[in-house]
Amino acid sequence: MKYKENKTYKDKDATGVVMNDYEFEDCVFENCKFNSTEFNSCQFTNCEFKNCSLVNPIFHNTEFRNMIFRDTILFGINWFDLVGREGMHPSIPVDIFTNCTFKYNTFPQLSLLKMNFDSSSFYDCEFTECNLKESSFKSAKFEKTPFLKCDLTKANFSNATGYYVDLKSCIVKAAKFTFPEAISLLSSLDMIIE
């Protein structure tokens, strides 16, 4: 395995590159492109991605641990592919997503407890059977991104827009929503409001 520690990578373009057996620890990636990059048996621990793009990456036996993503484009990622198989609701290996853009991402059956998604945008994504207790989506923007069978207890959607929370299947106890966008919660109940 090729070991990299305490390195900063700026303005790198790894589009279409195949990365085999790399281990990155305490590294920073800034303004880097990982578009259609294939990661085989790689590990990223305590790393930060700033203003990067990960578009349709391919992950094989690759692990993320204690990651931070800021101002990053994340396109076509199934986050379940990056967690160990520790049973139902494994923990996602990321601590913070701030001001990120997610498109065609899936978050199936994950523990996203206290996750920070503040000021991020979600397009055609899906959260299914996730534990999102105390997670923060403050000022987030959603488009065609449902929350289905999720636990949103004490989640914070203050100033978020466009969300679709299925109230029939989600737990929303003590979750925070802001008016007038909170009216959209009723759409899952097939109500007519005049």
Burial per residue of 95-112, b for 16 or more beta-carbon CB atoms within 10 angstroms, e otherwise: ebbbbbbbbebbbeebbb
Residue 65 confidence (pLDDT): 86
The pLDDT assigned to 48 comes to 97
| Interatomic CA distance for residues 25 and 48, integer angstroms | 10
* Residue range 67-80, pLDDT digits in tens: 999 999 999 999 88
The pLDDT value given to residue 124: 98
Residue position matching structure tokens 């085989």: 40
pTM assigned to the model = 0.90
Question: pLDDT value at position 104?
Answer: 98
- So what's the pLDDT on residue 190? 76
Number of Cβ atoms within 10 Å of the Cβ of 142: 24
Low-confidence ranges of the chain (pLDDT < 50): 85, 87-88
